Structure 1
Amino acid sequence: MNPAGRSIPEQWTTGRTVVLTDVHAISMDDRIGDFVGDVVIDGDTIRDLGPGAGADRPDDALVIDTGGAIVIPGLVDGHVHAWEGALRGVSPDSDFMAYLTLTHATLAPLMSPDDVATGEALTAARALDQGVTTIVDNNHNVRSREHAEAAIAALRDSGIRTVFAAGVGVRQPDGHLFPLLRELRAAHDDDMTRIRLMQAFPTLDGWRFAVEHGMGAVAEIGGRMPNLDAYLDSGLPNPSFTLNHCSGLSDEQWTRVADSGVAVALAPRSDPHYGLGVAAPVLQAERAGVQVALSSDNEFEYGYHLFEEMRQLMSVQRGASFAAIQAGEQDVPRPWGVRDALRAATVGGALAADLAGRVGVLAPGAKADLVLLNTDRLRPIASELGAAVSYATVRDVDAVIVDGRPRKWAGELVGVDRADLVRRGENSRDRLLARVGRSVEDLRFEGRLVLDR
């Protein structure tokens, strides 16, 4: 990429038309396809795109020669617990019960609004750095209005588009939650911050509340969940719902999931790590006709890399598909290619955010959420799509644009003091661990967290 210097973010003023030229665009919109040409941005929206699209532009337009950058839609993380951002790598080998014990039973009740805001800011910065422009933030530590307001403020300051799904953790009191959600929706619900209900373990009362108030819901579900059939048969799930993990569902349950139109976010690294399933159930979802989204889940054990989640899910799907074919099964979904993997991280993610057609695609009228990949380290390139999906890393994410504003440019986050953010995160983490008599040094040698239970 050959941007006109690091001053581009200052030149990119509100209301000014921006034309990105010489892009290799992967639109993820079947009507548009892939092309070499221009992307024209007006305000927060893509006005036009394609070969020669920038020719009809205002005289004062900001024209940026990208030097052949690969442009993809902004990635969408369909399920992440961003409030845990300061706990990154605290217990890399922990099992599911150790994770729950530390996060929900031990540290969550000790977190101040500032602790939660720090975690959100860290996760948002890592997401933007990786090319993620939208997250479905499953915040199951909304202990008060102050906690919620601090989290939302941190996300807004970061510039990332968010579905803020507010909830409480395991065995945390939730009597305040429904009135608070109504207040949050009235105060904050807009294009950049959508408000939802988050229930790690759903209740029918919660789902009814979400439907009655038109705000949608997210939940963690699996085949071992008590009364799962009653939930799926309730008539409440709809396209504003996102169900996470979904491991262990029967074929009949997958059919009901598909019929309801809910979105499904799969966690290809989290599920086997925690033992929720041998692998993410992508083939079962495909058999039912469900377009899945990707989930990073959390950074408690492993790093935030949606490109890695994409590749992991592709490997899982291909392995499962080939195994089914070799076993002589009928009507087996074909092995994924790289476009299928990118679709999960874009189009599928847009479904999880209930923003289909507005994010996750490059198309006229869609939000100007997009990622520019520098091709210097990716060369030699035989396929731009293959390079974007199978080879790209955070080093190749040169620019990230959210809602028509640059949030990363020339390889650096815009307006983010990384050193200060890291210090805040370390201080928050160390203070919390000290209150339960632990330290990072303890955990470094133990490799995993062992708490008295």
Structure 2
Amino acid sequence: MMNLSDNSVPQQWTTGRPVVLGNVHVISMDAGIGDFVGDIVIEGDTIRDLGPRAGRPGDALVIDAGGAIAIPGLIDGHVHAWEGALRGVSPDSDFMTYMSLTHGKLAPLMTPEDVAIGQALTAARALDQGVTTIVDNNHNVRSAQHAEAAIEALRAAGIRTVFAAGVGMGQPDEHLLPLLLQLRTAYDDDLTRIRLMQAFPTVEGWKFAVEHGLGVVAEIGGWVEDLDSYLNSGLLGPSFTLDHCAGLSGTQWSRIADSGAAVAVAPRSDPHYGLGVAAPVLQAERAGVQVALSSDNEFEYGSHLFEEMRQLMSAQRGASFAATQAGEADVPRPWGVRDALRAATAGGALAADFAGRIGVLKPGAKADLVLLSTEHLRPIASELGAAVSYATARDVQTVVVDGRLRKWAGELVDVDWPALVRQGEDSRDRLLAKAGSSVEELRFEGQLVLD
């Protein structure tokens, strides 16, 4: 029997051999299965069985997890992966400065290679932090070559992806709609889904997507002109994911709920950019909408879905208490840690249009999961509380995507991280040089002046 410190496991973990993760504390996020200490049996890309007395195939690779905590793979419901090499360039940017620097200065200069490097960095960092699926809002698809480079980088990383293709801000989009059909033919499968991404939605784009069976991602809020015409168009459905959703009325939330569209909220991004005081999680709850979590981008702050969970839980609890103290009726109860984890798992599965197949640990679901080492989490009184309220990337011992090992013993599998970082720095510096700027200049150009 192997254990979590055995460095030979990545060589022995093959897709043709069943794997048993034994002696693991499972947080399944399935109401019928619940939480237990026992086994998870993986066969191919699927969870074959799990439970205190799961059947162990005779030819399985058996690994004693030593009481590690298993959770479903986390799902980032909205991230701009192409910006991966621009991490932290302007940590104090307001929204207009962010738009000017990314879309105005740097995005038009990016080659397909630059985009691929950004994608690879974002994917590697996500996997390192326990994120097994991303909804990639790629609004810098300037050519077929840019799109192909972006997708190939994500597939090479081994992360499950909804690739939502969009054009650069202000760029003509005549090439985009037919390109989506080409991308779907070339790439669409369970590991890569193709969608339309529109930072500023159009009814024509939505109609095209619906007619051709494509999903849609749209970033919406009170800033969208004539928003009701989109919400009342009859086009919205479960294959739509709406990001931010700040400043919406109760009626607009009801329209979204009735349509079955998913919502990805951004707990840090919205207050950072002034899109809202906090993510509108209470409004979503009142409408009966299960939200997903979103990191948005790394231009100003680091992506970390454990931190996003905690931020969203605090925002929801604060809003719930405030509404109760104000005497409002029908106030959603304050969240607990399971609610926060649900947003990062089952909620994310809705955003990816993969409900019931990811974001949960149960027989027949995709083998997307995370093992958290308890070494730095002890003393532990609640495994669920430890996973949500205390865990960081340091505690992510193992990451499995589609039955394949992507992180083991705290290290990414088949990733030369120092080389990837150097590529990112070289790409960033080339772009800044072309733009006539430097990291130091942009850092101060983006600073907010607070009196």
> TM-score, normalized by length of structure 1?
0.97
Residue 238 of structure 1 is matched in structure 2 by 237
1:14 is aligned to 15
Q: What is aligned with 2:129?
A: 130
Q: Kindly state the Cα deviation for residue 106 of structure 1 after the two structures are TM-superposed.
A: 1.3
Structure 2: segments with no counterpart, 5+ residues: none
Aligned to 2:371: 372
> Aligned partner of 2:11: which letter?
E
Q: Give RMSD over aligned pairs.
A: 1.2
Could you tell me whether the CA contact under 8 Å between 1:91 and 1:443 is conserved in 2? yes
Cα distance in 2, alignment partners of residues 274 and 196 from structure 1: 26
Q: Secondary structure of 1:349's match? A: helix
Counterpart amino acid of 2:32? Answer: R
User: Cα deviations across residues 220-259 of structure 1 (Å, max 9, x unaligned)?
Assistant: 0002311100000000010000000000000000000100
User: Which residue does the alignment assign to 1:384?
Assistant: 383
Q: What pairs up with 1:184-333 in 2 under 5 angstroms?
A: 184-333=183-332
What CA distance in whole angstroms lies between the structure 2 residues aligned with 1:442 and 1:271?
Answer: 25
1:161 paired with 2:175, answer no
Quote the offset at 1:13 in angstroms.
1.2
Q: How far did 1:160 drift?
A: 0.2
Separation in 2 of the partners of 1:384 and 1:5? 24
CA–CA separation in structure 2 for the residues paired with 1:411 and 1:58: 27
Residue 58 of structure 1 corresponds to: 57
- In the other structure, the counterpart of 1:5 is 6
Question: C-alpha deviations, 1:99-138, integer Å up to 9, x for none?
Answer: 1111111111110000000000000000000000000000
Return the alpha-carbon distance in structure 1 between the equivalents of residues 446 and 105 of structure 2: 19
Alpha carbons 2:90, 2:444 under 8 Å: kept: no
- Other-structure match for 1:28: 29
Equivalent position SS for 2:225? coil
For these two proteins, the number of residue pairs brought into alignment is 448
Q: Deviations over 1:18-67 (max 9, x none)?
A: 0000010000011111111000000000000000104xx33221000000
1:448 Cα offset (Å): 3.0
DSSP-derived class of the 2:193 partner: strand
SS at match of 1:162: strand
Equivalent residue for 1:76? 75
Q: How far 1:444 sits from its partner (Å)?
A: 4.6
Identity of matched residues, %: 80
Larger displacement relative to structure 2 (3-12 or 421-430): 3-12
Letter in 1 for 2:12: Q
Which residue is equivalent to 1:41? Answer: 42
Taking the aligned partners of 2:447 and 2:188, their CA distance within structure 1 comes to: 39
- For 2:412, the equivalent position in structure 1 comes to 413
SS at match of 1:239: coil
Q: Aligned equivalents of 2:13 and 2:105: distance in 1?
A: 45
Residue 217 of structure 1, CA deviation:
0.3
> Secondary structure in 2 aligned to 1:341?
helix
How many Å separate the matches in 1 of 2:5 and 2:279? 43
Letter in 2 for 1:69: A
Letter paired with 1:32? I
* 1:101-120 equivalence runs, <5 A: 101-120=100-119
CA-CA distance at 1:162 after TM superposition: 0.2
SS in 1 for 2:345: helix
The AA in structure 2 aligned to 1:442 is E
Q: Distance in 1 between matches of 2:432 and 2:249?
A: 40
Cα distance between partner residues in 1 of 2:276 and 2:284: 14
Would the aligned equivalents of 2:267 and 2:279 in 1 still touch at CA under 8 Å? yes
User: Are the equivalent residues in 1 in contact too, given 2:266–2:296 (CA < 8 A)?
Assistant: yes
Task: Name segments (4+ residues, structure 1) moved above 2 Å.
Answer: 441-450
Distance across 2 between alignment mates of 1:444 and 1:110 = 19
Structure 1: distance between partners of 2:433 and 2:188: 37
| Whole-Å separation in 1 of the counterparts to 2:328 and 2:222 | 23
Q: Deviations over 1:373-427 (max 9, x none)?
A: 0001000000000000000000000000000011000000000000110000000
Question: Matched residues in 2 for 1:304 and 1:365: separation?
Answer: 30
Q: Distance in 2 between matches of 1:445 and 1:248?
A: 30
Q: Could you say what secondary structure the match of 1:53 adopts? A: coil
Contact 1:443–1:449 (8 Å) recurs in 2: no
Q: Secondary structure at the match of 1:448?
A: coil
Unpaired runs of 5+ residues, structure 1, are none
